[in-house]
Amino acid sequence: KQPKGPALAEAVLSLSDAALISPIRILQLSDPTLQPTSSTSDLRKAYLKISLHIHPDRIGATFKEATKAFQVLVTAYETLTSPDYIPSDEPTSKKGKKNKAAQISRSNEGCYTTKIHCPRCDARWNDKVEGNPDYYYKVMMQGLK
């Protein structure tokens, strides 16, 4: 049987240190079958189920650390649903997020740029017209849209 209210909030707080390494443990309080590779909708269901029981507006009067427990839950959910999250059992430098060195960089060298022209005067976008300041042409073109 799943704990509710302050007991569930205490369980979330007790797992807050472990959440830095494996945030799935907190959501497993709702559904023990969850895995870091579970679908986002399953993770969201577990998050919502727990959040209903430990929300500070609901148990704040009886449990003083309800806000902290809720913040731990939100952080765990956001970490799991982040596109940068890599599931692992080893602590990482940024709470389960990719290291900057592991990311692939891409330059824009050799990319094609589309030249946009004004439909009325056929002047190229961002070209200076009649000696006006840089911002003037952008403002005028925005007004023509």
pLDDT tens column, 10-29 = 888 888 877 667 888 888 88
For residues 72 and 8, the answer to whether their CB atoms sit within 8 Å is: no
For residues 23 and 72, the answer to whether their CB atoms sit within 8 Å is: no
For residues 137 and 128, the answer to whether their CB atoms sit within 8 Å is: yes
For residues 67 and 13, the answer to whether their CB atoms sit within 8 Å is: no
pLDDT at residue 6, rounded to an integer:
85
Q: Which residues in the chain show pLDDT less than 70?
A: 1-2, 19-20, 86-108, 126-134, 136-138, 140-141, 143-145
Beta bridge partners of 97: 85
